[in-house]
Amino acid sequence: MSAERVLEDAREQIRKIAPSDVNIAAIEFEGPVVVIYTKDMEKFASNNDIVRQLAQGLRRRVAIRPDPSMLANPETVEKRIREIIPEEAQITDIYFEDDTGEVTIEAIAPGLVIGKHGSILNEIKKEVGWAPKVVRAPPLPSKTVSDIRAYLRTISDDRKVFLKKVGRRLARPRIEGESWIRMTALGGYREVGRSATLLSTRESKVLIDCGIDPSDKDGGTPYFNAPEIQPLDALDAVVITHAHMDHCALLPALYKYGYDGPVYCTPPTRDLMSLMQLDGIKVSYGEGKKAPYESSHVREVVAHCIPLKYGETTDIAPDMRLTFQNAGHILGSAVCHFHIGDGLYNIAFTGDMKFERTWLFNATVNKFPRLETLVMEATYGGYRDVQPSRIDAGNTLKAVCERVLARNGKILIPVFAVGRSQEVMLVLEELIRTGKLPNVPIYLDGMIWEATAIHTAYPEYLNSQLRTQIFQMGQNPFLSQNFKRVETQDMRERICHDVEPCIVLSTSGMMNGGPVLEYLKAWADDPKNCLVFVGYNAEGTLGSKIQRGWSELTLSERGKPVTVKMKMDVETAEGFSGHSDRRQLMAYIASLDPKPERIVIGHGEEHKCSDLASSIYKKFNVETRAPMNLETIRMK
């Protein structure tokens, strides 16, 4: 069915369903949504059934928006909103979303923006034309979040053109004939890193993830020279499971080399991966290497993102629908469920997953409407990969910290900026607040502070217990006085040479670069100090070498090699990982509803992938595959 035919169907449906006096100004495709512009927003607002009936009739997402002619100038509107809302509400930001006709008012006291029985909000609605939305201001302001909002505001016209282009491509006529579905492993199979999978049908191509190999000193890339994925502009969409660099680092390079289509991810993933990608450029230049793309290409990614919340289903190709569900790995990480054809086939990609409730997140979603194939990770899928519980991990960290701080030592914890650092922060904050550890400063170096600020901007993605603690009990552990942001090189130098005990959380997690190396060089030769690993170290990384007991390391100092003798303690507090261990992976398969017909294993070292695949087959009698990179599996 062509785009024009779908839009004509929409007009026909509206004539049948909507009251005859409703003024419809225009109907457009904007991305995967059929948008109905009207001058009678109140009539639609008072009858929610209209939108539901239209969505069911068209079998597409439908949005009702005010006709642009009714929307006053944003500067004028912002001034009027600030006049109406009392100062005590403490407005921190007002931002406009042209593509939805919404104005979001962010305030420290949102109740005062709403007013008694919604009186203030109703006054705003009547006066400004825009649909007001009120949110609580995040307790830590995020530069990344505010920069992205500001940038999207400046490109609103270009974005509308882009969304219309995507919408019309989605509504292209379907191809007749035999249907088939294939997945091609382009990276991250029988290895950890450079995750990339091509999901193809007769009519569409979708790329899932686009990462680098962090253990490869040249930043190993997926097999993008494979004929299946070329040319890049033939891709219908790119789907990103989460914001770690082994899953999203090369996404901006696609725009550099010809891709011009949409990226689907959750809102926190969009913000976090922008932060990580820009930092990746900075790190490359700092190491004297050429970055694979420029900051302009990161902006291209933001401009082409179509964010989806958990549980929201949308068309991403003429024959493919996508739904994200919580994966429990990091903020915004998603299990991607693809519904292909009209009930033809269903396939889900777990991405990185944690099938256990953690200090930050709920466990991976394990229930789907339908599921024929599951593609899952095997990072800790080996027979002996059994990790301690989160409680045991916290107790291990407590014991190490007690011992080192008692002898006036310093503790260095290499962490990924996103995920592990926030979990370790929560544990340390509670231990100090409850008097189980001495009151020492905890320094946060690298991107940790900004990544934490992004967490506070998306409280709905955290687990319910943490949300209750922050918003109902007024206890925000991320705001502890013990946390100190390391903002300058001078401050880092002072911390390195301070005689007082302290704890430092620093990037990068695998010690392949970043500020963690400065602390290592300063503290490695003192046995009073301790290096504590809390996350995964890929083969070949500096972190894995230290874990294996290397006593001498060669690092770089202003471009020259220096030898560092490892006399400090080295400990590993296992159980903090955002990946499921062997037991959790098997429990996840056992709990899946419905049971899939086939399970494909990736994202693990070779022997772990084959071992997990074999064990799943023996225990559950399900067809399993552990493909090599460049292998293609036909699903249907």
Residue-wise pLDDT tens digits, 232-290? 999 999 999 999 999 999 999 999 999 999 999 999 999 999 999 998 898 888 777 88
Confirm whether 91 is domain-assigned: yes
Residue 545 shares a structural domain with residue 407 = yes
pLDDT one-digit tens code per residue, 205-241? 999 999 999 778 776 899 999 999 999 999 999 999 9
* 211 vs 187: CA distance, rounded Å: 8
The two three-digit tokens of residue 198, written as one number: 């091509």
Residue 467 shares a structural domain with residue 494 = yes
Rg (CA), the chain: 26
* 25 vs 64: CA distance, rounded Å: 11
Is the confidence at residue 511, as pLDDT, over 60? yes
* 622 vs 636: CA distance, rounded Å: 16
**Which residues, in sequence order, are CB contacts of 400 under 8 Å at separation 6+?**
411, 530, 532, 571, 573
Looking at the structure of the chain, the number of domains it has is 3
Q: Taking Cα atoms as reference points, which of 356, 370, 438 lies closest to residue 404? A: 438
pLDDT of residue 47: 65
Average of per-residue pLDDT across 524-532: 95
pLDDT of residue 362: 95
pLDDT exceeding 70 applies to what percent of the chain? 98
Question: Could you tell me where the beta strands, DSSP code E, fall in 327-456?
Answer: 334-340, 345-349, 373-377, 411-414, 442-445
**Which residues, in sequence order, are CB contacts of 548 under 8 Å at separation 6+?**
none
Provide the residue range defining the domain that includes 130.
Answer: 74-137
* 369 vs 346: CA distance, rounded Å: 9
CA-CA distances (angstroms) from residue 512 to 24, 284, 504, 505, 554? 57, 12, 17, 15, 12
pLDDT of residue 597: 96
> Taking a C-beta distance cutoff of 8 angstroms, is the pair 201, 175 a contact?
no
What is the 3-state secondary structure of 153-211?
A: HHCHHHHHHHHHHHHHHHCCCCCCCCCCEEEEEEECCCCCCCCEEEEEECCCEEEECCC
Is the confidence at residue 148, as pLDDT, over 70? yes
* 82 vs 90: CA distance, rounded Å: 10
Average of per-residue pLDDT across 53-70: 81
Please report which confidence band the pLDDT of residue 30 belongs to, taking 50, 70 and 90 as the band edges: confident
Confirm whether 394 is domain-assigned: no
Is the confidence at residue 21, as pLDDT, over 90? no
Residue 187 shares a structural domain with residue 102 = no
pLDDT of residue 46: 61
Confirm whether 525 is domain-assigned: yes
Is the confidence at residue 325, as pLDDT, over 80? yes
pLDDT of residue 55: 81
pLDDT one-digit tens code per residue, 427-450? 999 999 999 999 999 999 989 999
Q: Which of 92, 120, 137 is the last residue of a domain?
A: 137
Please report which confidence band the pLDDT of residue 328 belongs to, taking 50, 70 and 90 as the band edges: very high
Residue 214 shares a structural domain with residue 332 = yes
Residue 499 burial by CB count (10 A; 0-12/13-18/19+): exposed, middle or buried?
exposed
pLDDT of residue 45: 61
Please report which confidence band the pLDDT of residue 486 belongs to, taking 50, 70 and 90 as the band edges: very high
> Taking a C-beta distance cutoff of 8 angstroms, is the pair 503, 400 a contact?
no
Average of per-residue pLDDT across 412-422: 91
* 491 vs 504: CA distance, rounded Å: 12
Give residue 198's region: left, alpha or beta (phi > 0; psi -120 to 50).
beta
pLDDT one-digit tens code per residue, 584-607? 999 999 999 999 999 999 999 999
CATH of the domain at 511: 3.40.50.10890
Q: Taking Cα atoms as reference points, which of 161, 166, 168, 221 lies closest to residue 191? A: 221
**Which residues, in sequence order, are CB contacts of 501 under 8 Å at separation 6+?**
404, 405, 408, 409, 410, 411, 438, 440
CA-CA distances (angstroms) from residue 621 to 217, 357, 596, 614, 627? 40, 28, 11, 10, 18
* 533 vs 411: CA distance, rounded Å: 11
Residue 623 burial by CB count (10 A; 0-12/13-18/19+): exposed, middle or buried?
middle
Residue 204 shares a structural domain with residue 336 = yes
DSSP element (H, E) containing 520: helix 516-523
pLDDT of residue 70: 79
Is the confidence at residue 7, as pLDDT, over 60? yes
Whether omega before 596 lies within 30 degrees of 0, making that bond cis, reads no
Please report which confidence band the pLDDT of residue 95 belongs to, taking 50, 70 and 90 as the band edges: confident
Residue 73 is given by DSSP the state P
> Taking a C-beta distance cutoff of 8 angstroms, is the pair 412, 506 a contact?
yes
* 353 vs 329: CA distance, rounded Å: 5
> Taking a C-beta distance cutoff of 8 angstroms, is the pair 367, 566 a contact?
no
Confirm whether 411 is domain-assigned: yes
Residue 591 shares a structural domain with residue 507 = no
Is the confidence at residue 573, as pLDDT, over 70? yes
Is the confidence at residue 98, as pLDDT, over 60? yes
Average of per-residue pLDDT across 326-349: 96
Locus of tokens 């930001």: 93
pLDDT of residue 537: 80
Residue 366 shares a structural domain with residue 275 = yes
N-terminal to C-terminal alpha carbon distance within the chain: 24
CA-CA distances (angstroms) from residue 498 to 46, 404, 441, 543? 64, 16, 12, 25
Residue 357 shares a structural domain with residue 419 = no
pLDDT of residue 99: 66
Residue 110 burial by CB count (10 A; 0-12/13-18/19+): exposed, middle or buried?
middle
pLDDT of residue 484: 95
Confirm whether 56 is domain-assigned: no
pLDDT one-digit tens code per residue, 370-401? 999 999 999 999 999 999 988 999 999 999 99
> Taking a C-beta distance cutoff of 8 angstroms, is the pair 384, 395 a contact?
no
User: What average pLDDT does the chain have?
Assistant: 90
Confirm whether 21 is domain-assigned: no
DSSP element (H, E) containing 608: helix 606-620
* 502 vs 504: CA distance, rounded Å: 7
CATH of the domain at 95: 3.30.300.20
Q: Which of 544, 572, 600 is the last residue of a domain?
A: 572
Average of per-residue pLDDT across 322-332: 97
CATH of the domain at 360: 3.60.15.10
Confirm whether 10 is domain-assigned: no
Residue 290 shares a structural domain with residue 425 = no
Confirm whether 19 is domain-assigned: no
* 227 vs 239: CA distance, rounded Å: 20
Residue 330 shares a structural domain with residue 417 = no
> φ and ψ at 571, to 5 degrees?
-125, 155
Residue 325 shares a structural domain with residue 364 = yes
In this structure, the dihedral spanned by the alpha carbons of residues 74, 268, 514 and 542, taken in order and rounded to 10 degrees, is -170
Residue 599 shares a structural domain with residue 547 = no
pLDDT one-digit tens code per residue, 100-116? 778 999 998 888 999 88
Q: How many other CB atoms are there within 10 angstroms of residue 439's CB atom?
A: 9
CA-CA distances (angstroms) from residue 202 to 156, 178, 210, 233? 34, 8, 22, 16
Size of the chain in residues: 636
User: Which has more confidence, 167 or 2?
Assistant: 167
Q: Which of 108, 137, 166 is the last residue of a domain?
A: 137
Residue 312 is given by DSSP the state -
Q: What is the pTM of this model?
A: 0.90
